[in-house]
Amino acid sequence: MNIILRLLSLCFYPSAISFIKASEINAESYELDRVITLPGQPSSPSVSQFSGHITVNEAHGRALFYWFFEAQSEPSKKPLLLWLNGGPGCSSIGYGAVVEIGPFTVNKNGEGLHFNPYSWNQEANLLFIESPVGVGFSYTNTSSDLTMLEDSLVAEDAYNFLVNWLQKFPQFKSRDFFISGESYAGHYIPQLAELIFDRNKDRSKYSFINLKGFIVGNPETENYYDYKGLLEYAWSHAVISDQEYDNAKKVCDFKQFDWSEECNEAMSVVFRYYREIDIYNIYAPACRLNNNTSSIAHDSNNNRGSESVPEGRNDYRLRRMRLFGGYDPCYSIYAEEYFNRIDVQSSFHANVKGENTSVAWKTCNGSILNTYNFTVFSVLPIYTKLIKGGLKVWIYSGDADGRIPVIGTRYCIEALGLPLKSSWRTWYHDDQVGGRIAEYEGLTYVTVRGAGHLVPLNKPSEALSLIHSFLTGHNLPTHT
């Protein structure tokens, strides 16, 4: 059967022949995971894709689900790029893959797929994983794992995934490797990068992963600056009044993990105004599916989660539930309708859940946010360490995002104290202002004009230019 699958794949994807020969590997290690075609997939262009589960902890029966696309051209020469979404609890397949940067986007009503002309697999071999366990098709056979989720466990599982995935796809072991993502992946990505960086120092004990750098979009980075920026952005963009802003500034100390009752009340006013619009893209039309605005849908979903919060949970968890990172109800509905189809799951190698019974696939699992243990309040020290270690680091911000706004991210970058190489200037795209760019010693910061929290969704062509510049070293154009 393996031989038949391999032969079929080479018929459908003749470019894979030279790739396999050049790699001198046993293709059977991964051909069982090849996706021949998905229901509703466009007949052209051809897309070489794989998906399945990779075990990350045998003792507990933990496995992460992945979806991988070879680069559209010269896959043997292009880097490997991992994409992670945040939440925590949101699917990189439900957002990154079929809403933002993958070669397919989901049709309305989940009826099929469109080809995405702005897919990042034009620039790299593109890998998505659903992380942590409990997200999407990723699972654990040890239910207590779901109550122990926190950043270090997520990083460990992601690291083990990469080691085991590279055993299955050994042709990528020596390939330049980069990590990308957005939102709460602003925590996942630096911590995974740090784990790889540290373990690469001991090749006698750990597998070497050829990590070169990472790029994060609208990232949660440091609680103090992120929430200070959220408040200031709401005021400076006419979401709240002068009086409400002054009151919140007076009663809130965002350096404290547990907000005071007065601060909770003041920030509830901010969140209430944001429920009238979409905090993730403040100038975009609100989603009206099911007669809900985008932000009301955010809130109604999260209130269901809030109702099940055990007594004694602190207000930090509750305020995060009001602002589920990366959640968008319109696209969530389309993706959920598609990936809950039995024919899709069968073609996708996703209808096996270990010892667990099958559960509905969701773009975001609210119960993970309910039980996630938030113990890391700042990843800025990791930035300092990895920049000194020589990794390539980029941060980008959609400037219409109220959730992780450009203001807070600029505060975070300033706090690193990096020498400035090239001052704030304009970059252009199609003869229009694409955004602004500033270069520091070891870090590049780019804004994307008019984009919200999901930059590749709002500005797909600009986002493709951005990742091209990051991966190739070609400068973004700074003149028309």
Catalytic residues: 183, 401, 453
DSSP code string of 183-235? ETHHHHHHHHHHHHHHHTT-TTTS----EEEEEEEEE--BHHHHHHHHHHHHH
Contact 91, 362 (CB under 8 A): yes
Q: Sign of the CA dihedral 181, 184, 187, 188?
A: negative
Token pair 């300033």 is found at: 414
Q: What is the DSSP letter of 70?
A: -
Residue 331 token pair: 């696209």
Residue partners of 284: CB distance under 8 A and separation at least 6: 278, 294, 400, 452, 458
**Angstrom distance (rounded) from CA 228 to CA 107:** 38
- Cα distance from N-terminal residue to C-terminal residue, the chain: 55
Contact 289, 329 (CB under 8 A): yes
Residue 465 token pair: 């230019």
Count other C-beta atoms under 10 Å from residue 357's C-beta: 5
Token pair 């270990």 is found at: 354
**Angstrom distance (rounded) from CA 374 to CA 76:** 39
**Residue 132, preceding bond cis, omega within 30 degrees?**
yes
**Angstrom distance (rounded) from CA 383 to CA 443:** 9
Contact 221, 378 (CB under 8 A): yes
Which three-class secondary structure state does DSSP give residue 68?
strand
Residue 344 token pair: 């899709």
Token pair 């998905």 is found at: 38
Residue partners of 445: CB distance under 8 A and separation at least 6: 394, 395, 396, 397, 409, 410, 413, 437, 438, 439
Token pair 């760019």 is found at: 437
Chain mean position to CA 219: 9
Closest CA to 381 of 412, 410, 408, 405: 412
**Angstrom distance (rounded) from CA 107 to CA 109:** 6
Task: List C-alpha distances in Å: 446 to 296, 413, 437.
Answer: 30, 12, 4
Closest CA to 87 of 183, 217, 163, 10: 183
